[in-house]
Structure 1
Amino acid sequence: MRKILDFAYKFAASLSALAIFTIALLMIGQSFMREIGISTGPINEIVSWLCATAAFSGMAYAFKQGDFVRVGLLLERLDKRQRRYGEIAALMIAVVACLYLAFWATSFTYESLLFNDIATGLLPMPLWIPQCAFVLGSWLFAIATIDECFIVFFGGEPSYVTAVRERHARGDFSSDL
């Protein structure tokens, strides 16, 4: 199960990176098209959907790698036992918040499908299609928080703590800036 979850997190992060790369290509292409007088059409709409895809697809992986702002300032000052309980409490709050987000993202997208919502811009696309990245990213983030909660609950060290320690051991403090 661990390999499947880690693969899912990395795959979603790869989709996020691909979305960012595609945004860059579209924006560069749009700049050239404007210079030579070609209409850029719905590129801005596509870029906005890709921004949402990039943000939500990468959340689970970023969380597992320790790239999210956490309650570390408080937890670092506690002894080992108190820190474990603090981590569990923080993770349980995160689980509830992420499940809430995922539920409502799913509901919102389902309503778009049910009511046949169509984008009103230059690209008349059913809105549920780009919203699927929001749903999948939200659910994967919820799964990642549940995953971490189980790891800590059963006595393990959180992945995000281990990942940050390993980066620091290599001399990489870039995420701390």
Structure 2
Amino acid sequence: MRSSLDFIYKAAGALAAFFILAIVVLVFAQVCLNLADKVSAAITGHAIGLTIPSYSDFTGFFLAASTFLALAYCLRAGGHIRVTLVLGRLSKGAQRAFEMLVTAIALMMSAYATWYMALLVAESLEYGDRSSGMVSVPIWIPQLPVALGLGILTLALADELLSLARGAPASWDGKGENLLSE
């Protein structure tokens, strides 16, 4: 089970990296087209008008996808920012209880966000909502990776809470197993 869960977290992280790479490629291509326009204007006196339609919309969609798909991987790798001022002043038992409480709260918040994002995707699909850019995209398509990322984060938080309840150290504290230790 552990290897299956870790595979899901890593796959989501890899997909997030893919979307970041897609942002880089798209922006680089648009910069090259802008440069070609400038060169054309300098040589011929007028620009060609090269552009990637709705490239800023697509990069925004890719940014949302990469952000949300990376959440679970980042959690398991210990990459989320944590404020440990309170934890450092507590006994080991109180630290564990506090970690479990905070993880349970995060799990509830993530489950709530996942539920409502899934409802939003279903609603967008039902009503046929589309983006307003030059290239009109069914809005459920960019919403889907956000919902998926939240769902995987919810799974990771449930996994973490169960591990903490069984007495294992938190994956993010450096003592437990995390995705980067392999």
TM superposition score normalised by structure 2: 0.87
The 2-side partners of 1:155 and 1:16 are apart by 31
What is the CA distance between 1:117 and its match in structure 2? Answer: 0.3
Is residue 26–residue 43 contact of structure 1 (8 Å, CA) maintained in 2? yes
CA–CA distance in structure 2, aligned partners of residues 123 and 155 of structure 1: 51
Q: Which amino acid aligns with 1:24?
A: V
* Matching residue of 1:6: 6
- Secondary structure of 1:73's counterpart equals coil
Residues 65 and 163 of structure 1 are in contact (CA less than 8 Å); yes or no, is this contact kept in structure 2? no
Partner of 2:16: 16
Q: 2:162 aligns with which of 132, 146, 150?
A: 150
* Alignment match of 1:138 (pick from 144, 150, 153): 150
**For residues 62 and 163 of structure 1, what CA distance do their matches in structure 2 show?**
16
Aligned to 2:103: 91
In 1, Cα distance between the equivalents of 2:128 and 2:15? 26
For 1:163 and 1:55, the matched residues in 2 are separated by: 26
Runs of 4+ in structure 1 off by over 3 angstroms are: 163-166
Cα deviation code 1:100-158 (max 9, x no counterpart) = 11011101111100100011111111110111100100000011111110010111101
Query: How far apart are 1:79 and its partner, in Å?
Result: 1.2
CA distance in 2, matches of 1:40, 1:86: 50
Q: Highest CA radius of gyration, 1 or 2?
A: 2
**Equivalent-residue separation in structure 2 for 1:40 and 1:163 (angstroms):** 47
CA contact (8 A) 2:72 2:152 kept: yes
Unmatched segments (≥5 aa) in structure 1: 167-177
Q: Distance in 2 between matches of 1:22 and 1:67?
A: 22
Task: Assess if the C-alpha contact under 8 Å between 2:171 and 2:177 holds in 1.
Answer: no
Note the C-alpha offset of 1:40: 2.3
Is 1:46 the counterpart of 2:36? The answer is no
Structure 1 length normalisation: TM-score? 0.89
Closer, same or farther: CA 100–120 of 1 in aligned 2, 3 Å: same
The residue number in structure 1 matching 2:46 is: none
Matches of residues 60-71 of structure 1 in structure 2 within 5 Å? Answer: 60-71=72-83
What is the alpha-carbon distance in structure 1 between the residues aligned to residue 56 and residue 175 of structure 2?
Answer: 36
Q: Could you tell me how far 1:163 is from its partner in structure 2?
A: 6.4
1:31-79 per-residue CA deviation (whole Å, 9 max, x = no partner) reads: 0111213122121111010000110000001011111122422112211
Where does the alignment leave 5 or more consecutive residues of structure 2 unmatched?
Answer: 38-49
1:36 matches 2:33: no
Same amino acid, percent of matched pairs: 29
SS in 2 for 1:72: coil
The answer to whether the 8 A contact 2:160-2:170 is kept is yes
Q: Please state how far the C-alpha of 1:22 moved relative to its aligned partner.
A: 1.1
- For residues 165 and 126 of structure 1, the distance between their equivalents in structure 2, rounded to whole angstroms, comes to 40
